[in-house]
Amino acid sequence: MLGDVFSYLTDGSNWSGSTGIAAFGAQQLLLTVTSLVIAVVVGLPPALYLGHRGRGGFLAINISNVGRAVPVFAVLLVLALGPIGSEEFGPFGRAGLATLVALVLFALPPIITNAYVAVAEVDPGVVEAARGMGMSGTRVFGSVELPLAMPVVLTGVRLALVQVWATATIAALVAGPGLGRVITRGFANHRTYEVVAGAVLVAVGALVLELVAVLVQRYADPMRRASREIARSAP
């Protein structure tokens, strides 16, 4: 089995063409990145604002919990069979729009929850000290709360990234794009090695994205950068 999987993955003909691994992988990566960007743009600002205000936490957390409770495949199936349909959607392929909407909804809960909790749980003493120095609410948020909350905020984005990548695989069940097409094609043709190869590709992709996200998180964390600068300037 492992030999068949290795042969399949190293055969260049399986990677080329519109139905090759490369095309499906590009579709899944495009879906993942696009869904994440939309979810960040939609979910992050209100979550950060509510956390700063210290209000609306019940609403934010419970909306996120509802999003976690609804099965993604059920949402995808309803969208694919409903008004959005399973038509081609540019580079995203068949059922691309339905898949994109479902993945955005799936990405929102960890982003909203982490962003709200991160800002709301900033040490009140630090916030009061900043206000006592004459800082406005906007400056307190930008200079104190957001830098301190950034590690947890970025963790939520990283979790959403990996979850969306893995979940995008189920789009193939409604003839959608992505590496799930490799798995469903293997099942349809009774080629177990192809099914395993598709699963390996998804797993390796998740590991690579996790690694990249960790590196980006370390670079983007302002507190970590400040610690490095202090360490370098110390005698």
Q: For each successive 10 residues of the chain (235 residues), what is the average pLDDT?
A: 85 86 92 94 90 75 70 81 77 83 90 89 82 79 84 92 92 84 90 92 94 87 63 57
The answer to whether 186 and 193 are in contact (CB under 8 A) is yes
Look at residue 74 in the predicted model and tell me its pLDDT. 81
- The per-residue pLDDT of the chain, averaged, comes to 84
Of the chain, the end-to-end C-alpha distance in Å amounts to: 59
Q: Residue 114 sits in which domain range?
A: 2-233
CATH label of the domain that carries residue 12: 1.10.3720.10
Neighbours of 55 (CB within 10 A): 12
Alpha helices in the chain (DSSP H): 2-10, 21-53, 57-69, 72-81, 96-120, 124-132, 137-140, 146-167, 180-188, 192-220, 222-233
Q: pTM for the whole thing?
A: 0.86
Total domains in the fold of the chain: 1
Q: Look up residue 169 and give its two tokens.
A: 């695989």
